[in-house]
Chains A and B, each alone.
Chain A
Amino acid sequence: MEQILQNLAIGIGVALQPINLMWVTLGGVLGTIIGMLPGIGPASGVALLLPLTFKMGPVGALITMAGVYYGAMYGGSRSSILINTPGDGAAIAACWDGYPLATKKKRPEAALAISAIASFLGGMIATIFMVLLSAPLAKLAIKFGPAQYLMLYLFALSATASMSGEGKVLKGFVSMFLGLMIATVGIDALSGVHRFTFGLMELQGGIDFLIAIIGIYALGEVFESLKEIGKGKTKIQKKFGRIWITREDWRRIWPGILRSTPLGFVIGVLPGTGATMASIMAYNQEKNLSKNKEEFGEGAVEGLAAPEAANNAASVGALIPMMTLGVPGSGTTAIMLGALMMLGLQPGPLLFERTPQIAWGVIASMFVGNLVLAVVNIPLAGVLVRILSIPERILYPLILGLAFLGTYSISNMTFDFFIVIAFGLLGLFMKRTGFPTSPMVLGAIVGGAIEEKFRQALTISNGSYAVFVSDPITIVLAILTVGSFLLPIIQRRKKAAGGMAGA
């Protein structure tokens, strides 16, 4: 405990440096804006803002990207509440009661304040959990060898693929294999063999996954959103009274916030599940526990607060495996990992051991960041939501411009523009045919590491595959991996069988 407080003190020292205060504010505000705008979420936001982080150094970059991530959780609900369109996936639950609260009950100020307060408390409490949990996890992970890492990666991938939604498990795995495929393009680092480069010099270094992601997310999402253009837009309210809540509201929301925060946090830490699932589960939990269920969907304050606390807690939780183990469990954290590796920083247990000022500086910055975001999202909410009135015909072309700009600043090659375009179309095709994209993104990012660990482990074991189930850690991870694949399938069978029996 003493050790943790000491480390936290170092972290606070780093986080309070003026330059880092500036980065966390910048990240939080940009994140809020990105979260608000329908069509771009935190994943594409981090990818698009990447060029900005080049000059910041690793601490600044990580602080800014984390700020974008949890800032987006604050921002997403602004558009849910005001225009009934979630700014990103995790804000979907905020539509269900936030929009009725703002329109039917004519209390938009309360809705904006409740979601921001819930986000703030969820984020703060989850950061305290993170402080307590990070060091022990990093200590455990330091003992991991290649076989343990491989199994951990496989579990993260398998969980992400199998969480793709009902009837989409197999599609999730196809998408995962596609990502792993992409990662094999280029010169094989261990043998020097050119793989799948088609004789193109530009492909020798491999397909940069950050560029693939810009294509999938930024272009793919713009393509998807373009069809909505011209459908007419809800007029957004620009004048507000005092954005705050009543004593009665507070009495009703705080138990739900305290219940949803640990729930969201745990869901965030687990790979595959993310902020979206956390908010939906928190909403259902609150509805089940509530005495006045009939008010849910009609503007219940509890129904808005619970999912908002949960998705912020989940976004904090999701950073833990990425930072302590170097294993991302979601699209956004995968991109952050990729970006950090590009900046020459390898997240993982050694991050805490060798550079505690970076690891703890980032964690401490999240306390500061949540305070900043509370200010940005409560007193300044009225100013910020004006961004929602930017017409799409201006917004989307600019996002496209930013996507190509980001690509060029990563690689300095216009050849990669073709890769962005190709992946944009692939993303659209996948969405149309119901193949989820996040398993692919995750696969593309950790694919290289998976193959490396796979071959290292086999070299160490002299080619014996038994190394992958040789100790308790690998066995547990293997069981979890197989379980995460089989569970949704068994559940579906059961459901189908139950349906038959009922009929």
Chain B
Amino acid sequence: MVLTLQVIADLFYLVLAIAYGIGALNLPEAMFGDPWEPRIYPLIIAAGMAILAVVLLITELRRQQKTGSAERAQFKIAKEGQIVAFVVGASVLYTLLFDRLGFMISTFLFIESIMLFISKGKKMLWPTVIALIFAVGIYFSFSRLLGITLPPAPFLDF
């Protein structure tokens, strides 16, 4: 068995289905009505998914045997992986700062940082202006026009 990306995916769904099924079995009993009732439906889902994942896994392994070709999954930290990793990191940071710094500042920093990363720091005038307009413009149009309150900046009075 070669650990191709496909095998990893199939295994992922198999493990997920089993874990979910065990979770469903261990659900607390319903206080009223049939105590098993909240479990039946999740168990059907778990069984269905597990069966399909096994079939997919077997199909993939047979294919590997037959063709003999299998490309080992490589976690390529290529350019693409770097961008995705950066965006995820920036998003997590954004989540943590959103309430603390308020919508305008955190959003500006979030968008600006991703623009900086993608543009490799070149020609940043327009992106910066647009990020600024986006953060400030959305804040005011949402709170004034749509009545959706976004977290305010901590040290400014709006």
Contact yes or no, B41 A454, CB < 8 A:
yes
Contact yes or no, A405 B38, CB < 8 A:
no
Contact yes or no, A191 B118, CB < 8 A:
no
Residues 88-146 (chain B) with a chain A CB within 8 angstroms: 88, 91-92, 94-95, 98-99, 107, 110-111, 114-115, 118-119, 126-127, 130-131, 134-135, 138, 142, 145-146
- Residue on B nearest A229 in the bound complex, by CB: B118
Contact yes or no, B52 A170, CB < 8 A:
yes
Contact yes or no, A401 B41, CB < 8 A:
no
Could you tell me the distance in whole angstroms from the C-beta of B116 to the nearest C-beta in chain A?
9
Say which size band chain A's interface belongs to: 35 or more
Choose one: A193, A401, A409, A425; the contact of B38 (CB below 8 Å).
Answer: A193
Contact yes or no, B30 A192, CB < 8 A:
yes
Could you tell me the distance in whole angstroms from the C-beta of A173 to the nearest C-beta in chain B?
5
Bound-state CA distance A215–B138 (Å) is 20
Residues 379-412 (chain A) with a chain B CB within 8 angstroms: 392-394, 396-398, 400-401, 404-405, 408-409
Q: Which B residues touch A171, using CB under 8 A?
A: 56
Could you tell me the distance in whole angstroms from the C-beta of B46 to the nearest C-beta in chain A?
8
Contact yes or no, A425 B88, CB < 8 A:
yes
Binary contact track B51-84/A, C-beta < 8 Å → 1, others 0: 0110110010000000000000000000110011
Binary contact track A434-461/B, C-beta < 8 Å → 1, others 0: 1100000000000000010011000000
Could you tell me the distance in whole angstroms from the C-beta of B49 to the nearest C-beta in chain A?
4
Could you tell me the distance in whole angstroms from the C-beta of B65 to the nearest C-beta in chain A?
17
Q: A397-B115, A398-B130, A428-B84 are in contact. Are A188 and B38 (CB under 8 A)?
A: yes
Choose one: A51, A393, A400, A409; the contact of B127 (CB below 8 Å).
Answer: A393
User: Taking chain B's interface residues, is the majority helix, strand, or loop, or is none over half, making it mixed?
Assistant: helix
Q: Which A residues touch B33, using CB under 8 A?
A: 190-191
Contact yes or no, A227 B80, CB < 8 A:
yes
Contact yes or no, B146 A174, CB < 8 A:
no
Could you tell me the distance in whole angstroms from the C-beta of A456 to the nearest C-beta in chain B?
12
Say which size band chain B's interface belongs to: 35 or more
Contact yes or no, B38 A400, CB < 8 A:
no
Q: Which B residues touch A401, using CB under 8 A?
A: 107, 110-111, 134-135, 138
Q: Which of A52, A191, A222, A455 is packed against the most chain B CB atoms within 10 Å?
A: A191
Could you tell me the distance in whole angstroms from the C-beta of B112 to the nearest C-beta in chain A?
8
Could you tell me the distance in whole angstroms from the C-beta of B140 to the nearest C-beta in chain A?
13
Q: Which A residues touch B5, using CB under 8 A?
A: 432-433
Residues 18-46 (chain B) with a chain A CB within 8 angstroms: 20, 23-24, 27-33, 37-38, 41-42, 45-46
Q: Is B154 an interface residue (CB 8 A)?
A: no
Q: Is B87 an interface residue (CB 8 A)?
A: yes
Contact yes or no, A51 B95, CB < 8 A:
no
Contact yes or no, B49 A393, CB < 8 A:
no
User: Taking chain A's interface residues, is the majority helix, strand, or loop, or is none over half, making it mixed?
Assistant: helix
Bound-state CA distance A455–B44 (Å) is 13
Contact yes or no, B27 A193, CB < 8 A:
yes
Could you tell me the distance in whole angstroms from the C-beta of A278 to the nearest C-beta in chain B?
28
Could you tell me the distance in whole angstroms from the C-beta of A161 to the nearest C-beta in chain B?
10
Contact yes or no, B150 A408, CB < 8 A:
yes
Q: Is A207 an interface residue (CB 8 A)?
A: no
Contact yes or no, B37 A196, CB < 8 A:
no
Binary contact track A34-70/B, C-beta < 8 Å → 1, others 0: 0000000000000000011011000000000000000
Contact yes or no, A223 B146, CB < 8 A:
no
- Residue on A nearest B138 in the bound complex, by CB: A405
Choose one: A51, A174, A193, A222; the contact of B30 (CB below 8 Å).
Answer: A193
Q: Which B residues touch A51, using CB under 8 A?
A: 142, 146, 148
Bound-state CA distance A455–B79 (Å) is 50
Contact yes or no, A196 B23, CB < 8 A:
yes
Q: Is A226 an interface residue (CB 8 A)?
A: yes
Contact yes or no, B131 A397, CB < 8 A:
yes
- Residue on B nearest A432 in the bound complex, by CB: B5
Could you tell me the distance in whole angstroms from the C-beta of A459 to the nearest C-beta in chain B?
9
Choose one: A55, A174, A398, A433; the contact of B134 (CB below 8 Å).
Answer: A398
Contact yes or no, A191 B38, CB < 8 A:
yes
Q: Which A residues touch B32, using CB under 8 A?
A: 191
Q: Which B residues touch A425, using CB under 8 A?
A: 84, 88
Q: Which B residues touch A229, using CB under 8 A?
A: 83, 118
Not counting A173-B48, A223-B84, A227-B83, a sample of 6 additional A-B residue pairs whose C-beta atoms are within 8 angstroms of each other reads: A192-B31, A226-B87, A226-B118, A229-B118, A408-B98, A417-B94
Show 18 A/B contacts (Cβ-Cβ < 8 Å), sorted by A: A52-B146, A170-B56, A171-B56, A174-B53, A177-B45, A181-B20, A181-B46, A229-B118, A392-B118, A394-B130, A397-B127, A398-B130, A405-B107, A409-B142, A409-B146, A417-B94, A425-B84, A433-B6
7 A-B pairs closest in CB distance: A191-B30, A433-B9, A177-B49, A417-B95, A227-B80, A397-B114, A393-B118
Which residues on A are within 8 Å of B, measured CB to CB?
A: 51-52, 54-55, 170-171, 173-174, 177-178, 180-181, 184, 188, 190-196, 222-223, 226-227, 229, 392-394, 396-398, 400-401, 404-405, 408-409, 414, 417-418, 420-421, 424-425, 428-429, 432-435, 451, 454-455
